[in-house]
Amino acid sequence: MVHHLNFMFLILGFLGVFSSLRAQDTHWDCNIHAYRYDMAVYASLQLSEDAVPLASSDYEIAAFYGDECRGVASVQTVSSNGNTYYYLRIRSNKIQGEQIVFKCYNRNSGQEQQLFTTVLFEENSVKGFPSQCFILKAYPETTGIDKDRTMVEPESVSVYHLNGTLFRTLMKPDEIKMLPPGIYVINGKKISIR
């Protein structure tokens, strides 16, 4: 029995060393101990409108709020069918409300790019599943918002997420500068708030 326990501790120690070595092999650093709350994302990366979503160690995915890295994804494999996905825990010190953006790092080319998918942080929430992943898009999505003919008050401004859902209606156009960091569609134009 003692022999089995020693062997189990040896395996756990090996896994701990292996995972810490793997964590150092990332393009971005995230101090997970600096945050109190988290949410989970099971995702695939879609590189173009016609491409099949994928999860590959050739591409590293990270979540950001402003310039702060809030989580780095790891590639996981479903043992029963071999499908892969990105598993990402996003961290925050606020229970909800921060607009999280994603970045992708191509390990082969050394290029980094911001993705066009965002999420609103909410403690303990989950986006996607290993069997039906949340899609992170590396290309701008056509939303058709410029064709929206809805009547609004002359001074109000409608702010949309990139996926076309209404984020917030501002009563005055100068409130735009008070939006949390992220990419929005305002008056049919894509706007980046930093």
Residues 37, 124 within the same domain: yes
Sheet-wide strand order for 182-186: 166-170, 157-160, 182-186, 189-193
* DSSP, residue by residue, 125-170: -EE-BTTBPEEEESSPPP--GGG------TT-EEEE-TTS-EEEEE
8 domain residue, yes or no = no
> What's the confidence (pLDDT) of residue 3?
52
Burial class (CB in 10 A: 0-12, 13-18, 19+), 42: buried
pLDDT digits (tens, 9 = 90+) for 150-171: 444 446 777 887 777 777 777 6
| Structural domain for 40, as ranges | 24-137
Given a cut of 80, is residue 19 above it in pLDDT?
Answer: no
Domain boundary among 137, 156, 183: 137
What CATH number is attached to the domain comprising 73?
Answer: 2.60.40
Q: What percent of the chain has pLDDT over 90?
A: 48
